[in-house]
């Protein structure tokens, strides 16, 4: 896979070059030392992956990401000195289309690369998502994701639930959608955003600035309540275990083989069962196919399902998968989804005449 480096620090760029040199499946095609230079080089020779710094003179990494995703889109991994210290820029870049973020590895006195493993893991994950043979790496089917839940089936839930899945470009999309829902929203909102668990608490805090409802990391064993947003906060998959009148959040490592973590399919599939209260599934912008099968399972179980349209998606991968499967009852621009979700819940909308239900 063809890789480019964008970093104003020549030392950091050299560290990244040495790491890539040890990986025969990746080829470094150019290095840029500013955002402006990166825009020129990307237009001339588009890479498949860019390792993007954030803090640079002139155009910073977030703005460079925005412009590249508009003109020569590719996979962008943020690689910066401190992802925690640059948290706001990390989420800004992810909102513009960066896939993930990791701290810049540091060269030790003996020439070893301290902190290289997280970057290597991200690169392997990207290779599984967009490299050759990527279509064989499909998430487990909804039926498979549900297998571990069958023994815990209880009567249908009375709690209204909205489940949202997102990936590339997701933070900004989530901020806009959640901002359209009122603080007294009569449903629990579950969110699976593809993000490393180290960034999940920061993402929850960032989303809280945009959402009238409380936003927190979902805790294993936590019982759901209406008017609250629960963000998946682990590299394991957040699912709903039915219990009593509502439900309890659980985390599971299964399916282990999927490159998508936390898995949107796993979350959606855990909600694909009978329910008395309204249930809404929403699939937002993102690379890959995660969530399409799970959204279809939700639709077949009677949920109201929505996918973001191509025009407003940073990457039209996950929503396209849903559209191809006819999993979405509506395909809407991002600006209309929040209002539609709100109206569906407030109207008590439960689908009983969907032609896809068998």
Give the active site residues. Answer: 167, 194, 290
Peptide bond into 262 cis (omega under 30): yes
| Burial category of 295 from C-beta neighbours within 10 Å (exposed 0-12, middle 13-18, buried 19 and up) | buried
Distance CA 282, CA 166 (A): 9
DSSP state of 150: G
C-beta separation of 97 from 169 below 8 A: yes
CA-based nearest residue to 131, from 226, 253, 49, 245: 49
Distance CA 295, CA 321 (A): 10
106 phi, psi to nearest 5 deg: -120, 135
143 phi, psi to nearest 5 deg: -60, -40
Distance CA 74, CA 98 (A): 9
Q: What is the chain's length?
A: 358
Distance CA 256, CA 204 (A): 25
DSSP state of 291: T
Q: Give 124's contacts (C-beta < 8 A, 6+ positions apart).
A: none
C-beta separation of 38 from 64 below 8 A: yes
CA-based nearest residue to 247, from 164, 156, 181, 178: 156
């Amino acid at each position: 896979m063809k890789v480019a480096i964008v970093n104003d620090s020549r030392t950091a760029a050299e560290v990244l070059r040495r790491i890539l040199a040890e990986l025969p499946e990746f080829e470094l095609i150019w290095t840029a030392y500013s955002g402006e230079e990166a825009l020129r080089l990307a237009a001339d020779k588009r890479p498949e992956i860019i390792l993007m710094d954030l803090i640079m003179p002139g155009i910073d990494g977030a703005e460079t990401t925005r412009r590249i995703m508009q003109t020569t889109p590719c996979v962008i991994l943020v690689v910066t000195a401190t992802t925690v210290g640059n948290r706001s820029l990390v989420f800004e870049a992810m909102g513009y289309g960066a896939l993930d973020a990791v701290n810049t590895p540091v060269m030790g006195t003996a020439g070893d690369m301290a902190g290289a493993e997280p970057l290597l893991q991200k690169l392997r994950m990207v290779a599984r998502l967009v490299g050759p043979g990527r279509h064989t790496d499909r998430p487990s089917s909804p039926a498979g994701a549900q297998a571990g839940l069958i023994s815990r089936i209880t009567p249908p839930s009375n709690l209204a639930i909205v489940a949202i899945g997102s990936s590339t470009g997701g933070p900004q999309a989530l901020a806009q959608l959640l901002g359209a829902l009122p603080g007294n929203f009569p449903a629990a909102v579950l969110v699976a955003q593809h993000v490393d668990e180290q960034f999940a608490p920061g993402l929850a805090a960032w989303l809280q600035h945009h959402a009238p409802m409380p936003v927190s990391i979902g805790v294993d064993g936590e019982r759901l309540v209406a008017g609250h947003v629960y963000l998946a906060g682990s590299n394991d998959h957040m699912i709903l275990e039915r219990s009593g009148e509502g439900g309890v959040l659980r985390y599971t490592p299964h399916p282990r083989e999927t490159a998508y973590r936390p898995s949107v399919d796993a979350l959606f599939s855990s909600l694909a069962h009978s329910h008395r209260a309204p249930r809404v599934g929403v699939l937002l912008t993102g690379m890959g196919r995660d969530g399409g099968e799970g959204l279809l399972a939700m639709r077949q179980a009677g949920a109201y399902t929505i996918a973001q349209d191509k025009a407003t998606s940073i990457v039209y991968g996950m929503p396209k998968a849903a559209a191809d499967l006819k999993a979405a009852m509506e395909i809407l621009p991002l600006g209309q989804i929040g209002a539609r979700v709100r109206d569906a819940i407030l109207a008590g909308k439960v689908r009983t005449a969907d032609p896809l239900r068998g």
